[in-house]
Structure 1
Amino acid sequence: MTDTTRTRTATAPGHTGDPAAADGGAPRTLSTWRALNSALHEAMKADDSVFVMGEDLTRWGTGGGIYGVTRKLAETFGQERVRDTPISEEVIVSAAVAAAMRGTRPVVEIMYSDFSLLAMDGIVNQAAKARYMFGGQFEVPLVLRTNQGSGIGKAAQHSQSLEALFAHIPGLEVVVPGSAGDAYGLLLSAIASPNPTIFLEHKALYNDRGPVATGPIPLGLADVVRPGTDVTVVATQLMRKRALEAADALTADGISVEVVDPRTLYPLDIDTIIASAAHTGRVVVAHEAPELYGFGAELAAQLSRRLWGNLRAAPRRLGGARTPIPYAKGLETSVVPDTRLLVNEIKDLMSLS
């Protein structure tokens, strides 16, 4: 697999991702789903080898799948490049892997990340390993778009956060955008990548609006979303949003929180995370997935090894409960860390150091 972390020389670690900087002009303000839709339109217009396939992409309501991301693609590019498929994730992914190995750039939509488990042979044993198994004769420029996470009452089989599972597999790139601008720019880079990329959107963020500029955002480049001096919070997606809320709340207590969003779990910009942790001396890694065996454990291990003796306290992890996501709203919110829990975790860490 190509080491995409070696392609980041054009932008220094810690770049803030200012969308106005991409083309020197004022950014657009879009919802996340519209930003993704815009990226797909632009990628398909620029490259005839890019095509989209998935369930109900043109037939759900006004078209565009259940969250609207593929809206009007079929009208613009035709049925050959926007393909509705049977309800069989194994077949969809296997067909896309073969198409990618033959020189096209498929963008597969899996309705929920939970359903990608039906296609794990194609993802883990085929897409992730084809270049290695065939001695570099094939690239697999495949993007698997799907959504994950809780927050809108989709219950246990539609609300899991599976990013750590995919990040564990050699050969896969894993993208976890947490804003409209990142969703747009990272999707452009994922489509251009020669590697199979798992692109995990968050269903509770589709309608969040934010600035979106033209141009890709390199994979493997973390974003210092908010600078601070007392504690670093490393967070993605919904927890990034809650980290920013916690940072706002803690200003009243005189606590300055730096928020870092990795944006991609592989390639991982560990240098920016290390630099932030060394600067503040305290770290909390927050994610929605269960705390046990989540990506927070990996970051805590790397931070402990590389900053041993330089941190004011051991890195903290804050994750979800080890339980299926309940359907009832009150129960659903109780098993995933909220802003209040993150505020309390930060205060407790500050009190010990």
Structure 2
Amino acid sequence: MPQKSIRQALNEALRQEMRRDPRIIVIGEDVAGGAATEGQRDAYGGVLGVTKGLIGEFGEARVIDTPITESAIMGAAAGAAVTGLRPVAELMFSDFLGVCFDQIFNQAAKFRYMFGGKAKTPMVIRTMVGAGRSAAAQHSQSPYHIFTSVPGLKVVVPSNAYDEKGLLIQAIRDDDPVIFCEHKLMYDLRAEVPDEPYTIPFGEANIVRDGDDVTVVALARMVHYANEAIEKLASEDGIECELIDPRTTSPLDEDTILESVERTGRLVIVDEATPRCSFATDVAALVADKAFDALTAPIRRVTAPHTPVPFAPNLEKLYIPSPDKIAAAIRDVHGYAK
């Protein structure tokens, strides 16, 4: 099976789906190359490089550059979705979702319910999350938890190239709005990815690693950090952790998490976002509500602090949960004695 980067996997998913269904369009800033490119086939492909070359195959009617106006991009995508098209809108940074919050929160997420289940809103919002590039407080956030709380939205937070392709195809084929979160430091991360199209169902977690001592739940880049910590603990301390990647935060695969905790009795949640009203808090509440009697130690959350993302590289490094912090939390719950 060929090795592909996340960027290549996403591009392949878009290309294959656009060939399959002529109703699919791609819109966003510079997705068709913008004004500073030499010919369509050499298109820049947006700031993420994911849409490179699509304009050459599908033309300007289906790969559409927009002005720098996030609210208009999302409004156009929502309108196109409810009138028969299947738009994939690219938003450079998830931080900018606040600019177009009404179009997503109060329009796209509500159409199906406002029209008695008769309206479909098949739109995908691809956007970039995560810190680590000294992009400062307005370009480094991970606000997927905000949209996870909104009924009517589906939220995808993949961790590897295989999942990115399968989940993006699933998102494009879904009839509800999907927020598709891509970590900015993972686009060159490679994995085995089939050439043919495939889908991964929403709400189906991936058990990255089996173990009986501690359940660890992590998203996106934190899956790799958690796995690094777990491998170190296995070799140095003999602690065997089960690592769960939920893949989607809405819907959430509650059963896989609960079944694991009922077996291990211990839970550590790793989340690059801030701790208040977060994904980590949501999972902790789930286990406290439905598997409290199985716990043999307090639940531990390893998250960013409740502060904006720092610009200074030395502070940003401290801000992001590290493998060492994750390992320390796992050791704490594993060694806990009542």
TM-score, normalization: structure 2? 0.95
What is the distance in 2 between the residues matched to 1:59 and 1:308? 53
For 2:262 and 2:45, how far apart are their aligned partners in 1? 44
| More divergent stretch after superposition (141-150 vs 272-281) | 272-281
Residues 233-244 of structure 1 aligned to structure 2 (within 5 Å): 233-244=216-227
Deviations 1:99-147 (A, max 9, x none): 0001110000001001111101100010000111111221000000001
Alpha-carbon contact 1:90-1:119 (below 8 Å) kept: yes
Judge which range, 319-328 or 84-93, deviates more: 319-328
2:286 pairs with 1:302: yes
Equivalent runs, 1:20-169 vs 2, <5 Å: 27-59=1-33, 62-169=43-150
State the shift of 1:314 in Å: 2.4
Is 1:180 aligned with 2:148? no
Number of aligned residues? 327
Deviations 1:32-56 (A, max 9, x none): 1111111000110110000100001
Given that residues 304 and 314 in structure 1 are in contact (C-alpha distance below 8 angstroms), is that contact kept between their aligned partners in structure 2? no
Read off the aligned partner of 1:49 and give its amino acid letter. Answer: R
1:282 aligned residue: 266
Matched position secondary structure for 1:152: coil
Task: Determine the structure 2 residue equivalent to 1:228.
Answer: 211
Does the Cα contact within 8 Å between 2:32 and 2:60 map onto a contact in 1?
A: no
- Structural mapping, 1:257-296, within 5 Å: 257-296=241-280
* 8 Å Cα contact 1:113-1:162 kept in structure 2: yes
Cα offset for 1:59? 2.2
- The answer (yes or no) to whether the contact 1:202–1:237 under 8 Å persists in 2 is yes
For 2:315 and 2:94, the matched residues in 1 are separated by 21
Matched to 1:351, the amino acid is: G
**Alpha-carbon displacement from aligned partner over 1:264-289 (angstroms, at most 9, x marks no partner):** 00111100111111121111011000
| Structure with larger RCO (C-alpha < 8 A, sep 6+) | 1
SS of residue in 2 equivalent to 1:205 = coil
1:237 Cα offset (Å): 0.5
User: Could you tell me how far 1:350 is from its partner in structure 2?
Assistant: 1.1
Partner of 1:9: none
Structure-1 separation of matches of 2:302 and 2:332 = 12
* Whole-angstrom distance in 2 between the partners of 1:323 and 1:301: 22
1:29 is displaced (CA, Å) by 1.0
Of 151, 159, 171, the residue aligned with 1:190 is 171
- For the 8 Å contact 2:214–2:267, the answer to whether it is kept is yes
Give the drift of 1:86: 0.6
The superposition leaves residues 156-200 of structure 1 with CA deviations (integer Å, 9 ceiling, x where unpaired) of: 100001011000001000000111111100000000000000001
Task: Give the whole-Å Cα distance in 2 for the aligned partners of 1:46 and 1:279.
Answer: 43
Instruction: Give secondary structure in 2 for the equivalent of 1:159.
Output: coil
Q: Any stretches of 5+ residues in structure 1 without a counterpart? A: 1-26
- Name structure 2 gaps, 5 residues minimum: 38-42
How far apart in 2 are the matches of 1:243 and 1:40? 30
8 Å Cα contact 1:243-1:342 kept in structure 2: yes
- CA distance in structure 2 between the partners assigned to 1:57 and 1:276 by the alignment: 42
Aligned to 2:40: none
CA distance in 1, matches of 2:298, 2:289: 11
Structure 1 residue ranges (4+ consecutive) displaced by more than 4 angstroms after TM superposition: none
**Cα deviation code 1:55-76 (max 9, x no counterpart):** 0112266411112100100011
For 2:117 and 2:212, how far apart are their aligned partners in 1?
A: 46
Q: Give the C-alpha shift of residue 302 in structure 1.
A: 1.1
Q: Structure 2: how far apart are the matches of 1:67 and 1:329?
A: 22
Q: Is the 8 A contact 2:126 2:181 kept in 1?
A: yes
Q: Distance in 1 between matches of 2:77 and 2:294?
A: 47
* Contact 1:150 1:159 survives alignment (8 Å): yes
SS of the equivalent of 1:352 reads: coil
Q: Secondary structure at the match of 1:204?
A: coil
Residue type of the alignment partner of 1:352: Y
Distance 2:84 2:252 in 1: 27
Distance, in Å, in 2 between the alignment partners of 1:174 and 1:28 is 28
Q: Check the 8 A contact 1:173/1:198 in 2, yes or no.
A: yes
